[in-house]
Chain A
């Protein structure tokens, strides 16, 4: 089965840049989606197809994907960005797969 690996936690000061990684075997050949989930709420799609943003998502959210690592980058981090973030891909042997999630803490 296909496995996506995320760091359990990332911390960043307000105004700085947060980078959350998602590792997987040759993930660069797949389309990666990213979700934000705040406590007690349903997940929200923030980046799809590696680097595209749904309408309503700030330009501060961006993504990249190459080799064995995909990255969600949040620029000019705000207190309201504090949440859990999950990466997701479709794999032919595992169907839909989510990463374990990364807790973003804004210091």
Chain B
């Protein structure tokens, strides 16, 4: 079964750090680009970051640039998001999502999400 499972969410104080992980299974992870997308409570989807299959290309949303770092380990079939200098407005469910080049990059597989709460 093709699956993405996020972990690492939790409660953190403003200014703190957190590292999210996304474990992939059921497909050749190293062949696909990956993304992080977040959703604040009661709000819409916000794309956060993109990493190409070989990690050669990385993009960030302006809202997280300089604070978040995306990475992947193809040998471990895992995607990561290192989040530093966290702010209240980073509170959200964070999803990892696969980008399929056959579908013009559309996000065809999503994890169930992990909640990040930034609060003192």
- Which of A's residues lie within 8 Å of B, judged by CB? 1, 31, 33, 35, 37, 42-45, 48-49, 52, 54, 84, 86, 88, 90, 95-101
Contact = CB atoms under 8 A, between A and B. Distances in A.
Contact of B107 (A45, A52, A97): A45
B70 to A, nearest CB: 12
Given A95-B50, A95-B59, A96-B35, A43 B44 contact: no
B20 to A, nearest CB: 15
B110 A95 contact: no
Interface residues of B, number: 22
B1 interface: no
Contact of B95 (A31, A42, A49): A42
A101 B61 CA distance: 18
Interface string B80-118: 000000000000000101000001111110111100000
Nearest to A37: B45
